[in-house]
Amino acid sequence: MGPEHNSRQVLLQEVGPRDGLQNEPRILSPEERARLIEALVDAGLPRIQIGSFVNPRRVPQMAGTELVWQRIRKQPAIRYSTLVLNARGLDLAIAADVPHVEIYVSASQTHSMRNSGTTVEKALAEAVLLVGRALGAGLTVTAGVMCAFGCFYEGNVPVETVRSIVEKLQDASPTEIGLADTTGMAEPDSVRRVIHALDRVTRVDPLALHLHDTHGFAWPNLMAALEMGIRKFDTSVGGLGGCPFIPGATGNIATETTVERLHSLGYRTGVDAEKVREAASRLRRLLAAAPEFR
């Protein structure tokens, strides 16, 4: 385990403006999304995923991410990031001058075809090239694995598959490695198994987990990861989110609840849970067709 194993500091990335909104029938304007992001920054979230550069025909909720970025009053201490799936998305992120990108490869062939339209092998080869390009352009990068703990379509995902993908991604020297429970199938034992299996290819410090609460296991999974030394997690305001290409894979672990529980256990996040809760309440009203994010 790395030096963060005994740390009481937990680093949260807010993914609500991307993952939280991409399944919602109400499409928010760039102005509304920018105001949401600023409310979350005000709540003390040190990392914000502002959106994704993906095909707007497939994920219309993410159209105009570059406009969202233009409207945000940037804070130097915040790590703003976007998700990219291909070279076109990376080109847009570089052109927009977003400082951090996230590049993920699925460990499931079926999910890879549905999510990215390509095989795992081809997606991985492209991801390695994209990581290199992004680093060369001066961006920092999270390279990650979707369906790292199981797949809705294929069931169990062998830990050897996850380890092999991480090993190849590591060769490109990304800033961090992400493990995503894309389909919400993780359980504490599978979280421990995967993290343990990665001991041979990466330190624990660069690892970050993206957890869904589809079956109510997100918090036990987070606790299992904490015990293994993980100190970086994605959370979503109000627990919104889920992969649009996975039936029923809704609900990320809620930021406000995570913060409250971590604080009760003596961990530090620097996040004001009450401010996040207020942002979640306003966001729900907005998604229910309230006129604007006030």
Separation of alpha carbons 211 and 291, rounded Å? 31
Of the given ranges (31-40, 147-156, 171-180, 254-263), which has the lowest mean pLDDT? 147-156
Query: What's at 53, amino acid-wise?
Result: F
Range of the domain at 132: 3-287
pLDDT, position 248: 52
Residues 6+ apart with CB under 8 A from 134: 90, 93, 94, 101, 103, 141
pLDDT band at 200; cut points 50, 70, 90: confident
70-80 average pLDDT score: 96
102-129 average pLDDT score: 94
> Whose structure tokens read 């995923």?
49
Q: Is residue 294 part of a domain?
A: no
pLDDT, position 2: 45
Of the given ranges (103-107, 113-117, 220-224), which has the lowest mean pLDDT? 113-117
With both helix axes pointing from N to C terminus, report the angle between 120-136 and 109-116 in degrees, rounded to the nearest 10: 60
Q: Is residue 144 part of a domain?
A: yes
Which residues share a beta bridge with 82?
Answer: 51, 101
**What is the enclosing helix (H) or strand (E) of 39?**
helix 30-42
pLDDT tens digits along 135-146: 999 999 999 999
DSSP 8-state assignment for residue 16: I
pLDDT, position 5: 62
pLDDT band at 4; cut points 50, 70, 90: low
pLDDT, position 3: 44
Looking at residue 144, which CATH number applies to its domain? 3.20.20.70
85-100 average pLDDT score: 96
Q: Is residue 293 part of a domain?
A: no
- Contact at 8 Å (CB) between 179 and 162? yes
List Cα–Cα distances, 25 to 60, 209, 280, in angstroms.
10, 26, 17
pLDDT band at 80; cut points 50, 70, 90: very high
pLDDT band at 165; cut points 50, 70, 90: very high
Q: Is residue 124 part of a domain?
A: yes
Q: Is residue 199 part of a domain?
A: yes
Higher pLDDT, 242 or 45: 45
The pair phi, psi for residue 120, each rounded to 5°, is: -60, -45
pLDDT tens digits along 205-252: 999 999 998 888 999 999 999 999 999 999 999 998 765 555 555 578
The pair phi, psi for residue 107, each rounded to 5°, is: -90, 0
Separation of alpha carbons 1 and 24, rounded Å? 39
Q: Is residue 117 part of a domain?
A: yes
pLDDT, position 283: 94
pLDDT at 109 > cutoff 50: yes
pLDDT, position 247: 56
Helices (H), 51-119: 65-71, 87-96, 109-116
**What is the enclosing helix (H) or strand (E) of 23?**
none
Q: CA nearest 68: which of 86, 83, 46, 87?
A: 83
What amino acid positions are annotated as catalytic residues?
A: 243
157-180 average pLDDT score: 97
With both helix axes pointing from N to C terminus, report the angle between 218-227 and 188-197 in degrees, rounded to the nearest 10: 40
pLDDT at 291 > cutoff 80: no
pLDDT, position 290: 44
pLDDT, position 1: 43
pTM above 0.85, yes or no: yes
Domain count, the chain: 1
Average pLDDT, the chain: 92
